[in-house]
């Protein structure tokens, strides 16, 4: 199904009946990854999944947007679908949107489950800064002393996934990953449950520790020997936790 929010076409799906539960996907994925999980939860909730712009069936934005723009689209989608308040489950990038929504519009969020949540600025050591500095130096020299080679040089920088992005999505991705949401954590009024994989390298476990400390009402579980996708690697366990945690408010 399609709807338009703030001029942006959003592809979404709804399944099940009951209290509203919104599931927000990670960066680079879409609702198809989470649909099998959503079907399990649909026996207890009306589940809404949406492709964020530039993912799945939702077209890219015309110009680069911020993580706050994405969160506003989630809020607008709720308005369009007449969802006054909902339980929210997010994964990675999707957790960024959930954090912003819970901090800025608390009346719309009942409870949150955040899985491998992004939003904490990375601990960037010396090697990181050396790599960035070297990149900037190389960029300066190539751009100024070998301008004909600059475009091909630039296209070969970064990860394969990053190079596949359009210029608009590259700028959007940069906006998203460089936004530190730590100051918002203490403003979250809704109860929060963190689900983390012990071997998560995308959002390391120390980020869960920071969130647990900063969010006023927060609990955490760590899945042993699991990754950034631990919540799916342990689907039955995660579904049981989600249902129990959300049921406590009913």
Q: Is the pLDDT of residue 232 over 90?
A: yes
Q: Are 172 and 61 in contact (CB under 8 A)?
A: yes
Q: What is the DSSP string of 151-206?
A: HHHHHTSS-HHHHHS-HHHHHHHHHHHT---HHHHTT--S-EEEEEETT-SSS-HH
- pLDDT tens digits, 169-195: 999 998 999 999 999 999 999 999 999
- pLDDT tens for each residue of 13-49: 999 999 999 999 999 899 999 999 999 999 999 999 9
The per-residue pLDDT of the chain, averaged, comes to 89
| Strand order from edge to edge, sheet including 8-15 | 2-5, 8-15, 45-50, 19-24, 86-91, 109-115, 192-197, 218-223
Given this model, what pLDDT does residue 103 score?
98
SS3 of residue 111 by DSSP: strand
């Amino acid at each position: 199904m399609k709807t338009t929010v703030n001029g942006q076409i959003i592809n979404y799906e709804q399944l099940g009946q009951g209290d509203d539960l919104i599931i927000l996907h990670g960066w680079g994925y879409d609702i198809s990854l989470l649909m099998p999980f959503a079907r399990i939860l649909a026996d207890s909730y009306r589940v809404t999944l949406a492709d964020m712009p530039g993912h799945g069936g939702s077209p890219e934005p015309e110009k680069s947007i911020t993580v706050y723009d994405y969160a506003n689209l989630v809020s607008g989608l709720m308005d369009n679908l007449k969802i006054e308040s909902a339980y929210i489950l997010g994964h990675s990038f999707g957790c960024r949107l959930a954090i912003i929504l819970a901090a800025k519009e608390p009346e719309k969020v009942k409870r949150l489950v955040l899985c491998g949540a992004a939003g904490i600025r990375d601990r960037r050591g010396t090697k990181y800064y050396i790599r960035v500095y070297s990149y900037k130096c190389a960029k300066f020299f190539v751009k100024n002393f070998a301008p004909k080679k600059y475009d091909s040089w630039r296209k070969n920088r970064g990860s394969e996934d990053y190079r596949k992005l359009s210029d608009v999505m590259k700028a959007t991705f940069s906006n998203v990953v460089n936004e530190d949401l730590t100051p918002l954590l203490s403003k979250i009024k809704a109860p929060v449950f963190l689900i983390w994989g012990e071997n998560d390298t995308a959002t390391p476990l120390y980020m869960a520790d920071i969130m647990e400390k900063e969010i006023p009402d927060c609990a955490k579980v760590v899945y042993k020997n699991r990754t950034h996708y631990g919540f799916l690697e342990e689907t039955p366990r995660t579904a049981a936790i989600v249902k129990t945690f959300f049921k406590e408010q009913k």
